[in-house]
């Protein structure tokens, strides 16, 4: 049984040790590639597609052209506006890696690689000494449930080894896919980005109906501890009305929320957009002020929630 679980494959774009912001205690974060949403502020745009993605680091590129010659798909061209820099036709690129091997300037890399649940588990279990009574594994992304068999196998392996398991999800995943994973999960970090479905669709590509329904399923049908997480992205979702709507929803639906985390916007994703798509400057928000964050917290506290 556990041998079968160990062999299950997923695509992982990062694995970070000693994390302290994604669930209680010290945790090892496994970042799964792929996400059903397309948030305009995404901090990890390289993780949105469920397959490995080529990244181009223009500031390292010397314009030598070796990658063009190495590409079997003829996917690489010089940029018309900056001939000393390159661009890649994503519809042709198979992420074969030949251009990476040809580049002597470290100007190209790939986000995401196939990993078995067993390989990921071994890295998580190696940190067990540091977890204490609160810490453990957090599967995040991208979207933790973009490769549900992998995530399900990894949480089962960790549970069997006595390691606490947390899964961070955007919630835009069918309940039939989510439920089998969450039955082995201790903590759900549940992202809610915008309570108005039309605005949710405008900023993320999908409405929020399934997301809110799944939160009710989790609350009513699992034993998971629920931590609601809200990125605060001016001006997309930082209105008082949005936080009041969230507070009202959680109270009216009697969601078993252990705490709410508000996550102020940061601009780490901006440089990565350029690496994926030269010329894509993406979306720029601003970091909310401490006073603004305190105001948002106080709205949610007025509904009786612990807010961090």
Assess 276 for contact with ligand SF4 (CB under 6 A): no
Assess 155 for contact with ligand SF4 (CB under 6 A): no
Which is it for strands 9-19 and 27-32: parallel, antiparallel or unpaired? antiparallel
Stretch that binds ligand SF4, among 71-79, 173-181, 273-281, 285-293 (CB under 6 A): 71-79
User: Given phi > 0 = left and psi -120 to 50 = alpha, else beta, which region is 271?
Assistant: alpha
Residue closer to ligand SF4 by CB (options 65, 205) is 65
Place of tokens 């994703």: 269
> Residue from 66, 261, 267, 287 that binds ligand SF4 (CB under 6 A)?
66
Q: Are 110 and 12 in contact (CB under 8 A)?
A: no
Other Cβ atoms less than 10 A from the Cβ of 81: the count is: 9
My answer on whether omega of the bond before 235 falls inside 30° of 0, hence cis, is yes
The nearest distance, CB 59 to ligand SF4, in angstroms, is: 10
Q: What mask of x and - would describe binding to ligand SF4 in positions 43 to 62, judged by CB under 6 A?
A: -----------x------xx
What stretch of H or E contains 14? strand 9-19
If 0-12 CB within 10 Å is exposed, 13-18 middle and 19+ buried, where does residue 83 land? exposed
> Residue from 8, 11, 42, 75 that binds ligand SF4 (CB under 6 A)?
75
Stretch that binds ligand SF4, among 30-38, 93-101, 180-188, 196-204 (CB under 6 A): 93-101
- Which spans of this chain sit near ligand SF4 (rule: CB under 6 A)? 54, 61-67, 70-71, 73, 75-76, 86, 88, 93-99, 102-103, 105, 107-108
């Amino acid at each position: 049984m556990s041998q079968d679980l160990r062999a299950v494959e997923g695509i992982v774009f990062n694995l970070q040790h000693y994390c302290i912001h994604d669930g209680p205690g010290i945790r090892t974060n496994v970042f799964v590639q792929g996400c059903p949403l397309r948030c305009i502020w995404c901090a990890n745009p390289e993780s949105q597609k469920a397959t490995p993605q080529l990244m181009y680091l223009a500031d390292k590129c010397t314009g030598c052209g070796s990658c063009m010659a190495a590409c079997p798909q003829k996917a690489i061209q010089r940029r018309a506006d900056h001939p000393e820099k390159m661009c890649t036709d994503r519809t042709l690129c198979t992420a074969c890696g030949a251009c990476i091997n040809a580049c002597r300037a470290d100007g190209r890399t790939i986000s995401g690689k196939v990993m078995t649940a067993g390989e990921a588990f071994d890295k998580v279990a190696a940190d067990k000494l540091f977890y204490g009574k609160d810490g453990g594994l957090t599967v995040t992304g991208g979207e933790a449930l973009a490769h549900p068999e992998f995530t399900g196998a990894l949480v089962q392996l960790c549970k069997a080894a006595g390691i606490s398991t947390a899964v961070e999800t955007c919630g835009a995943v069918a309940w039939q896919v989510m439920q089998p994973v969450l039955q082995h999960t201790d903590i759900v970090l549940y992202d809610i980005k915008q309570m108005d479905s039309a605005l949710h669709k405008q900023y993320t590509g999908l409405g929020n109906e399934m997301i809110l329904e799944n939160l009710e399923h989790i609350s009513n049908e699992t034993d998971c501890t629920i931590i609601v997480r809200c990125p605060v992205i001016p001006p997309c979702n930082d209105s008082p009305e949005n936080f009041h709507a969230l507070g009202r929803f959680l109270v009216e639906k009697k969601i078993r929320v252990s705490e709410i985390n508000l996550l102020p916007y940061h601009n780490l994703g901006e440089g990565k957009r350029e690496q994926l798509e030269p010329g894509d400057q993406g979306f720029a928000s601003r970091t909310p002020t401490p006073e603004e964050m305190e105001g948002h917290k106080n709205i949610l506290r007025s509904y009786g929630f612990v807010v961090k």
